[in-house]
Chain A
Amino acid sequence: MTLPRFEEITIGQQIPPLTTGPVSRLALALYAGASGDHNPIHVDIDFARKAGMPDVFAHGMLSMAYLARILTGWVPQSALRSYLVRFAAITHVGDVITCSGRVVEKFVQDGEQRLRLQLETVNQDGETKLSGEAVVALQ
């Protein structure tokens, strides 16, 4: 993977997005196992209802992992300096999630040419689920 050239990057430039299939209960079960997050609220509807939720819902960190794929799909992971998200709304079973990012700042720090990216995930209705940012170094 070759790094994008800093001087060719423009503010507002989008990085390649990705859209997932509808979030399935199987996806939540697999993520529970793979992540080690066994909170039953994501996989056990009986537990979720007792906790006052209408259904199980996705782990926020599953969406954060989806969103990370557009970063590591665009630059090598070693270029990633920071990555932060706020979980704005619950991602529900059946949601189709689109992950996107765009360059909002170019700057030099610690001798590195860096980009700040604004990131978000939205569902099929355009509702923002995660919003965040990442900093990548292009050297």
Chain B
Amino acid sequence: MFDTQHIGRALTPFSIEVEAGRLRFFAKATGQADPVYIDESAARNAGHPALPVPPTFFFCLEMESPKPAEVRELLGFDIGRVLHGEQGFSYHRMAYAGDRLNFAGRIVDIYEKKGGALNFVVVETAVTNQHGQPVADLRKITVVRAAPTPGA
């Protein structure tokens, strides 16, 4: 069981500029052929100022933190034992290539199930844009499998 004293702990905040090239690569990697997500002129014709950040890409930008392993190092677990349990997004406004987005994350819960075989960490992250406007709120539940008992 992880130390529950970390509940409420704020993670290191950071900001990152959204790059059009990364959005195109993400579209390719996820099979997204809709030109709105690939072609600037198609995006503008659809009423967007630039390529839009697709719904789940905020999670990818969150991993661009200068301390990507902060939660893992704080709680002390091995990346090989990590599973993604749940992921949620609430959306407030669109974000686009060229925007600079701010990420402010916080550990909001720590608990265990199955007699400690599975440990859970819940992180919520507020995303705002360069104008200070709310863009999205992320909620990630990470599941950590307990290390096997030696000799078992």
Which residues of A approach B to under 8 Å, CB–CB?
1, 20, 27, 30-31, 33-37, 39-41, 47-48, 50-52, 59-62, 64-66, 68-69, 71-73, 76-78, 80-87, 90
Contacts and interface: CB of A to CB of B under 8 A. Distances in A.
A27 B88 contact: no
Interface in B51-88: 52, 54-56, 59-60, 63-64, 78-88
B31 A20 contact: yes
Report the interface size class on chain B. 35 or more
Contacts of B80: 41, 47-48, 50-52
Contact of A86 (B25, B86, B91): B86
Contacts of B32: 65, 69
A72 B26 contact: no
B89 A31 contact: no
A66 B55 CA distance: 11
16 contacts: A20-B31, A33-B29, A34-B22, A34-B29, A36-B64, A39-B82, A47-B80, A60-B84, A65-B26, A65-B55, A71-B55, A78-B94, A83-B91, A84-B89, A84-B139, A87-B83
Nearest to A53: B80
Given A65-B56, A68-B54, A82 B82 contact: no
Q: Top 9 closest A-B pairs, CB basis? A: A51-B80, A34-B29, A84-B88, A65-B30, A30-B29, A60-B84, A34-B25, A68-B55, A35-B60
Given A34-B28, A47-B80, A87-B83, 15 more contacts: A34-B30, A35-B26, A35-B29, A35-B60, A36-B60, A41-B82, A60-B87, A61-B59, A65-B26, A65-B30, A65-B55, A77-B54, A82-B89, A84-B87, A85-B88
